[in-house]
Amino acid sequence: SQQGEEDPQALSIQEGENATMNCSYKTSINNLQWYRQNSGRGLVHLILIRSNEREKHSGRLRVTLDTSKKSSSLLITASRAADTASYFCATAFYGNNRLAFGKGNQVVVIP
Amino acid sequence: DVKVTQSSRYLVKRTGEKVFLECVQDMDHENMFWYRQDPGLGLRLIYFSYDVKMKEKGDIPEGYSVSREKKERFSLILESASTNQTSMYLCASSLRGTGFPEAFFGQGTRLTVV
């Protein structure tokens, strides 16, 4: 099954720095979504970008989508300790009533 | 706020037991999903349902079954629990739309089979 794949897998940064994560996928998508998971908890939806969009912002989050390269990036600006979490990209494919998740990207923000 | 509630946060069961994991959502969502999450493997879809009494297999349905008798409730059943089913189980729900909308997740059930 097609899945999003995040890169890098783990990231450790100082508070105030920016964190960037990438996600690649293999086939045409309807949309791509990013989720956050705090340790041992459920996932929380962060942002959705449709296949005809190239960039989207939500607070300190910026998502880009390059359908020609089949990749997306999530940028968290001015990171905070509370941003420490795992981040997952998920892709929704045409004609497929499900989300396919990547393996996740662990981000640690050091105060 | 959408709420997806899983019946247990932690569960310990014995090998061979029949295990029921319950999930309830309160936003009248058509779609409901069961995923399992394992270190290094991400989230893998077990089963999903897009309507009452409807179900479809996900990527790893073996050893599991599901039941959706009411729109708000989606149950995952381990017919005969095995140690390799020790995992974090996540339930999610979403509206059914032309594009796939955001999914709302429960808090997860960490199941240990001994």
Mean pLDDT, residues B28-32: 93
Q: Any CB–CB contact under 8 A between B107 and chain A?
A: yes
- pLDDT attached to residue B41: 87
Pairing verdict, β B56-57 and B64-70: unpaired
Task: Look at B4 and A42 and tell me if their CB atoms are within 8 Å.
Answer: yes
Q: Any CB–CB contact under 8 A between A86 and chain B?
A: no
Which residue among A31, A44, A88 places its CB closest to the CB of B43?
Answer: A88
> Which of chain B's residues have a Cβ under 8 Å away from the Cβ of A98?
33, 45, 48, 58, 100
Residues 4-23 of B with CB under 8 A from A: 4
pLDDT tens, residue by residue, A41-88: 899 999 999 999 999 999 999 999 999 999 999 999 999 999 999 999
- pLDDT attached to residue A48: 95
Q: How confident is the model at residue A6 (pLDDT cuts 50, 70, 90)?
A: low
- pLDDT attached to residue A7: 58
Instruction: Write the CA distances from B87 to A43, A48, B103, integer angstroms.
Output: 16, 28, 21
DSSP B72: T
**pLDDT score of A3 more than 80:** no
- pLDDT attached to residue A26: 87
Average pLDDT of every residue of chain A? 89
Alpha-carbon distance B18 to nearest alpha carbon in chain A (angstroms): 24
Q: Which residue has the tokens 């189980």?
A: B89
d(CA A5, CA A104): 8
State both tokens at B104.
């709302």
Torsion of CA B52, A100, A70, A21, to 10 degrees: 130
Q: 3-class DSSP state for residue A45? A: strand
Q: What backbone torsions phi and psi does residue B90 show, to the nearest 5 degrees? A: -120, 130
Mean pLDDT, residues B4-13: 96
**Of A44, A49, A74, which Cα lies nearest the Cα of A61?**
A74
d(CA B109, CA B111): 6
Q: Which residues contact A36 (CB under 8 A, 6 or more apart)?
A: A43, A44, A46, A85, A86, A87, A88
Q: How confident is the model at residue A10 (pLDDT cuts 50, 70, 90)?
A: confident
Is-contact A89 A37, C-beta < 8 A? Answer: no
Alpha-carbon distance B105 to nearest alpha carbon in chain A (angstroms): 6
Q: Which residues pair with A65 in a beta bridge?
A: A72
Is-contact A68 A54, C-beta < 8 A? Answer: no
Q: Return the higher-pLDDT residue of A28 and A94.
A: A28
Is-contact A19 A79, C-beta < 8 A? Answer: yes
Q: How confident is the model at residue A8 (pLDDT cuts 50, 70, 90)?
A: low
